[in-house]
Amino acid sequence: KILVVATGNPGKLREMQAYLAHSGWELTLKPAELEIEETGETFAANACLKASQIAQATGQWAIADDSGLAVDALNGAPGVYSARYGNSDSDRIARLLRELGNTDNRQAQFVCAVAIARPDGTIALESEGLCRGEILHAPCGEGGFGYDPIFYVPEKQLTFAQMSRELKGSISHRGKALKALIPQLETLNI
């Protein structure tokens, strides 16, 4: 049972592999030359688009994750445009901190939509997870990827970048979306 992971983001791949390690599926990375343009307006639409196109291109089952950070004081930006907010993680973080400035309201949420497509490109399963937290004024922590160093979870008193992969996975948008998916994956009966 092979699932092609429709991502070019190594941080996502590592987390997906860890969280689906006992699902009975073997995860393999999509060929690098297959790139999908994300034209959807929602996380779910983009996850379906990526899973469907990679499944069709490879003729195998595929899983995609579309995710991002929605900041309350920025009316949900960068949201589905989180990856396009800059050319590197540090550029994206710098831009977000600049746009937020000294705003008191630091509330934000990470959202993750996951979709699984059959080899013919039709969508078999969808799932979504979210995690609320606060945007710090400066990065803190070395782990994780993307916006993790500025995303602080008050309940744990840590940023995502200060958490072990296990702890992040137990509360994160991606961890929740994939956890909800596992029982459904088992019912596929492939």
Strand 158-159 and strand 2-5: the pairing is unpaired
Comparison of 109 and 189: residue with beta carbon closer to ligand ITT: 109
Residue 160 lies near ligand ITT (rule: CB under 6 A):
yes
Q: Are 81 and 68 in contact (CB under 8 A)?
A: yes
Tokens of 79: 């949201």
Q: Are 123 and 54 in contact (CB under 8 A)?
A: no
> Residue 89 catalytic?
no
For the CB of residue 189, give the shortest distance to ligand ITT in the complex, in Å.
Answer: 27
Residue 132 lies near ligand ITT (rule: CB under 6 A):
no
Task: Quote the distance between the C-alpha of residue 93 and its chain's center.
Answer: 16
For the CB of residue 20, give the shortest distance to ligand ITT in the complex, in Å.
Answer: 15
Q: Are 23 and 15 in contact (CB under 8 A)?
A: no
**Contact with ligand ITT (CB under 6 A): which of 3, 4, 12, 185?**
12
Comparison of 12 and 118: residue with beta carbon closer to ligand ITT: 12
Region 70-109 residues binding ligand ITT, contact defined as CB under 6 A: 82-83, 92
